[in-house]
């Protein structure tokens, strides 16, 4: 790789006094929240975000919509170092079903937005991810992963091509400081690295009515297709809009200047189809969609092959591709792809009403431990429990019968196809 470009890194140890009381020290994982909230009837929805719970509020960061969440009556919980809404008065069940039926507005401003600029930005980023960035068209985005030298996953992210030698990354909230340090360590000298943690907020408008709602403010968004990315003026403010999301539904993610986020959120909530949605429903929606949550369904000890994410490794970067390898852990990942792995992530449907939680052991008919649950809970759309887990490769075929051990009782489960609900991405 050429090293003739000057190093420009707009970064120092992140300090966010404008909206932070004190930044907590937190590891890079998609965790920091446990919740159990009752909704319709006596049904309880328990999230899978249940590691490293820290109920202290004195050290939490806040997003630009924090006051609005309070005004709307949100129940706030610690998540990834932020004080975030887990649910609103309607409850998780109704929020989930509303998103599937109409449109839900999510505050995901805790996630990290990072801009890379420079003629070598795409080529440099390819040294950290197993994805084709060089051929990513302007106005499109792509799912990617930072891989480790051993083939594990450091974080997953979205990468968009803004044009003019600019890339926009969106990384997980709890990982963003470490991801930024990772980028600075490896890409300094090849591109400008600009964290936008304070400058920009991020909203997600999800559901079948999302296109109708957003098109009232900017008609051109209706023509966008899944994973397209554009600069769009909303309420007179230039925003970055992508047709994507984390629910399995059609929808948009909107990067907006932080000081304009509340005005935009309030305007969207004026639309009759739109309701505010918290982390509880976001988790159950992504679980039904079969989408991974970093720190639960994948981590540094999990490879893309094991996580059933081989589809995310671009063909041009695979062992027989034109730009094969060149990213951390490539040889280990290629070897797994060729020889197979001992465990893989699969979908699981309990055959009883019992909820199966993260960390639950999975056994075969003889009682031998063959895997563990990585995410589990109640699926409001399915009106029943569902889970994802890692199983020994001998048990990953669809319809295979296995058992979860819940409080000493064996709960039968069948290996199921993911996503659990039909994806409704708009592809034109």
Residue that terminates a domain, selected from 341, 368, 383: 341
If one compares 43 and 423, the residue with the highest pLDDT of the two is 423
164 located within any domain: yes
Domain shared by 353 and 276, yes or no = no
pLDDT in tens, 94-117: 999 999 999 999 999 999 999 999
Query: 101 in helix, strand or coil?
Result: helix
Residue 25: band (very low, low, confident or very high) from pLDDT cuts 50, 70, 90: very low
pLDDT in tens, 335-394: 999 999 999 999 999 999 999 999 999 999 999 999 999 999 999 999 999 999 999 999
In whole angstroms, give the CA distance from residue 5 to residue 2: 8
For β-strands 384-392 and 343-350, DSSP reports them as antiparallel
Q: Does pLDDT of 327 surpass 70?
A: yes
pLDDT in tens, 191-236: 999 999 999 999 999 999 999 999 999 999 999 999 999 999 999 9
Give me the torsion for CA of 280, 284, 289, 291, rounded to 10°.
Answer: 60
Q: In what order do the strands lie in the sheet with 274-276?
A: 229-234, 237-242, 251-257, 200-206, 103-107, 274-276
Average pLDDT on 272-296 reads 99
- Structural domain harbouring 179: 1-341
In whole angstroms, give the CA distance from residue 133 to residue 168: 12
Domain shared by 48 and 191, yes or no = yes
Residue that terminates a domain, selected from 279, 308, 341: 341
Average pLDDT on 255-266 reads 99
Query: What pLDDT, on a 0 to 100 scale, did the predictor assign at position 5?
Result: 29
Average pLDDT on 116-141 reads 99
Residue that terminates a domain, selected from 313, 341, 369: 341
427 located within any domain: no
Query: What pLDDT, on a 0 to 100 scale, did the predictor assign at position 141?
Result: 99
pLDDT in tens, 29-86: 433 232 333 333 333 444 554 443 344 566 899 999 999 999 999 999 999 999 999 9
In whole angstroms, give the CA distance from residue 113 to residue 118: 17
Query: What pLDDT, on a 0 to 100 scale, did the predictor assign at position 12?
Result: 35
* Mean per-residue pLDDT over the chain, rounded: 90
Domain shared by 355 and 320, yes or no = no
Q: Does pLDDT of 9 surpass 90?
A: no
Query: What pLDDT, on a 0 to 100 scale, did the predictor assign at position 57?
Result: 64
Domain shared by 239 and 128, yes or no = yes
Query: What pLDDT, on a 0 to 100 scale, did the predictor assign at position 2?
Result: 33
Domain shared by 243 and 162, yes or no = yes
Domain shared by 316 and 246, yes or no = yes
Residues 6+ apart with CB under 8 A from 383: none
425 located within any domain: no
pLDDT in tens, 112-125: 999 999 999 999 99
Query: What pLDDT, on a 0 to 100 scale, did the predictor assign at position 259?
Result: 99
Domain shared by 337 and 347, yes or no = no
pTM equals: 0.89
129 located within any domain: yes
Q: Check the annotation: does 253 bind a ligand.
A: yes
Question: CATH number for the domain including 116?
Answer: 3.30.1360.120
Return the minimum-mean-pLDDT range out of 10-19, 41-50, 193-202, 324-333: 10-19
């Amino acid at each position: 790789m050429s090293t003739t470009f000057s190093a420009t890194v707009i970064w120092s140890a992140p300090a966010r006094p404008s909206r932070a009381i004190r930044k907590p020290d937190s590891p890079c994982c998609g965790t920091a929240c446990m919740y159990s909230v009752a909704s319709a009837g006596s049904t309880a929805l328990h999230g899978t975000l249940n590691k490293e719970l820290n109920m202290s509020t004195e050290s939490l960061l806040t997003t630009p919509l924090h006051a609005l969440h309070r005004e709307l009556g949100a129940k706030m919980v610690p998540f990834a170092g932020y004080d975030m809404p887990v649910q609103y008065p309607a409850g998780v069940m109704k929020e989930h079903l509303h998103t599937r039926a109409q449109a839900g507005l999510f505050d995901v401003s805790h996630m990290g937005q990072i801009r890379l600029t420079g003629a070598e930005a795409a080529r440099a980023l390819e040294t950290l991810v197993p994805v084709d960035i060089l051929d990513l068209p302007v106005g499109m985005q792509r799912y990617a992963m930072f891989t480790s030298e051993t083939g594990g996953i450091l974080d997953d992210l979205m990468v968009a091509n803004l044009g003019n030698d600019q890339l926009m990354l969106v990384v997980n909230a709890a990982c963003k400081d470490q991801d930024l340090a990772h980028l600075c360590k490896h890409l300094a000298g090849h591109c400008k690295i600009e964290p936008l943690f304070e400058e920009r907020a991020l909203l997600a408008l999800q559901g079948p009515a999302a296109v109708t709602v957003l098109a009232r403010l900017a008609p051109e968004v209706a023509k966008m297709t899944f994973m397209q990315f554009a600069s769009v003026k909303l309420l007179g403010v230039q925003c970055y809009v992508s047709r994507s999301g984390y629910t399995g539904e059609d929808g948009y993610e909107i990067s907006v200047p932080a000081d304009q986020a509340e005005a935009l959120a309030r305007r969207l909530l004026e639309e009759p189809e739109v309701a505010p949605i918290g982390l509880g429903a976001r988790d159950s929606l992504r679980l039904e969609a079969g989408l991974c949550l970093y720190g639960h369904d994948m981590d540094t000890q999990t490879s893309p092959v094991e996580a059933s994410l081989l589809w995310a490794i671009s063909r041009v970067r695979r062992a027989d591709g034109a730009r094969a390898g060149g990213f951390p852990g490539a040889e280990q990942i290629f070897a797994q792809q060729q020889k197979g792995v001992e465990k893989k992530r699969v979908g699981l449907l309990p055959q009883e009403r019992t909820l199966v939680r993260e960390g639950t052991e999975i056994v075969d008919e003889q009682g031998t431990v063959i895997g563990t649950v990585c995410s589990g809970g109640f699926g409001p759309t399915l009106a029943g429990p569902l889970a994802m887990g890692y199983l020994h490769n001998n048990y990953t075929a669809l319809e295979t019968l296995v058992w979860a051990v819940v409080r000493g009782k064996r709960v039968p489960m069948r290996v199921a196809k993911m996503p659990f609900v039909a994806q409704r991405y708009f592809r034109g």
